[in-house]
Structure 1
Amino acid sequence: MAIGPVQLIVLGFEHPNFHGEVVAELERLRKSDTVRVIDALAVYKDADGDIEVEHLSNLSTEEAIELGSKIGALVGLGIEGEAGFEAGAVAGAEAAAEQGGVRVFSDADAWDVIAEIPNDSAAALLLIEHHWAVPLRDAIARAGGFRLGDGFINPLDLVGIGLLTAEEAKELHDLETAGAAR
């Protein structure tokens, strides 16, 4: 299986009122082979500060085992070099098979996000594979290209290049930063 570029996105939700819309959109993107959620952790903090954690992934069991081996290999490679790569691949595949999916995030991993989550809100940590980008990435590599950087562009910056009107950018900016203003 070719894996596309993987991105970690951390999202905040003020007064979360989930009705399955985000999960439905991630499933739609999965069905269109656009993105896959390798792992996700939703952390809910109620008005009293009590926390609830939930995992989400839309990988099949076979994909979870294969990606588990790759993620385990990356972790092992970073810790123990080539020997760690092999041991991590085996451990990652076994863990994915036992857990029924890839668990990149543990509840303990959320610790540094939890303190930042205001009461009566939530955060989502999403490890997403951009499957759509595999052919583009491969074409760039064949042409001798490589990534120098990446990032999301603030909607207000798009006004400067004429891609959005000031009103459209303000609406997007307000949507994207509503919870951050607290």
Structure 2
Amino acid sequence: MAIGPVQLIVLGFDRPRFRGEVIAELERLRANDAVRVIDALAVHKDEEGALEVEHLSNLTTEEAIELGSKVGALIGLGIEGEEGMAAGALAGAEAAADGVHLFPEGPDAWDVIADIPAGTAAALLLIEHHWAVPLRDAIMRANGFRISDAFVSPFDLVAIGLHTAEEARRLDALETSGTTTGR
């Protein structure tokens, strides 16, 4: 099976108020064949930094069997307590054994778990971007390749006239603080 471009997104939740909206939106995107959630973990980090991990997914049974638990292997985190964490770390180490580096090492390394603040919850979503497959394939046929990628901050969009400073502050607050305005 060909896999489209894949992205790991880590979403933080301060005092989460889950009403099914996030899952409904992911299901809508899946129904439109825009994205597929390959794997998802819910992580709660208590005030002392101890973790509770739960596996989440909107995969079909067949897809879940085919893909397995990929987020844990990718970042060295598993479910089922310390035994599961050891299994996740082992799976990540095995994937890297052949010289494949899952994430950069050294000062540029991304420590996903360390980024989750104590006393909060996080959803780790491994998302396949189906919409991008035809574009990626066309780029490859033209002998093109990805050099880098990143999300652009709302503040950077002010400089090119796509947002006002006020809009950028509001969007940044929504994207990074876990609070909403007017609620």
Q: TM-score, normalised by structure 2?
A: 0.69
- Is 1:157 matched with 2:123? no
CA contact (8 A) 1:43 1:114 kept: no
Structure 1 equivalent of residue 9 of structure 2: 9
Q: Secondary structure at the match of 2:8?
A: strand
| 1:62-116 deviation line (CA, Å, top 9, x unaligned) | 33344x2xxxxxxxxxxxxxxxxxxxxxxxxxxxxxxxxx212223259962784
Structure 2 equivalent of residue 73 of structure 1: none
CA deviation after TM superposition for structure 1 residue 50, in Å: 6.8
2: CA distance between counterparts of 1:17 and 1:45?
16
Structure 2 equivalent of residue 169 of structure 1: 168
CA contact (8 A) 1:117 1:123 kept: no
Identity in percent: 67
Within a 5 Å distance, the mapping from 1:102-141 to structure 2 comes to: 102-104=68-70, 105=72, 106-107=78-79, 108=85, 113=113, 116-119=116-119, 121-141=120-140
CA contact (8 A) 2:116 2:122 kept: no
Structure 2 equivalent of residue 63 of structure 1: 63
Structure 2, unpaired ranges of 5+: 73-77, 80-84, 90-110, 179-183
CA contact (8 A) 1:10 1:123 kept: yes
| 1:105-140 deviation line (CA, Å, top 9, x unaligned) | 223259962784322x21111111001100000011
CA deviation after TM superposition for structure 1 residue 165, in Å: 1.5
Structure 1 equivalent of residue 41 of structure 2: 41
CA RMSD of aligned residues (A): 2.6
Q: Which amino acid aligns with 2:127?
A: I
Deviates more, 1:26-35 or 1:103-112: 103-112
1: CA distance between counterparts of 2:133 and 2:153?
25
- Is 1:142 matched with 2:141? yes
1: CA distance between counterparts of 2:17 and 2:145?
41
| 1:20-77 deviation line (CA, Å, top 9, x unaligned) | 11111111111111111111101124678775422112222333344x2xxxxxxxxx
1: CA distance between counterparts of 2:145 and 2:23?
32
Q: Secondary structure at the match of 1:139?
A: helix
Structure 1, unpaired ranges of 5+: 69-101
Moved over 6 A (4+): 47-50
CA contact (8 A) 1:2 1:134 kept: no
CA contact (8 A) 2:12 2:116 kept: no
Against the structure 1 CA distance between its residues 44 and 162, is the aligned structure 2 distance closer, same or farther, given a 3 Å change threshold? same
Structure with the bigger percentage of helix: 1
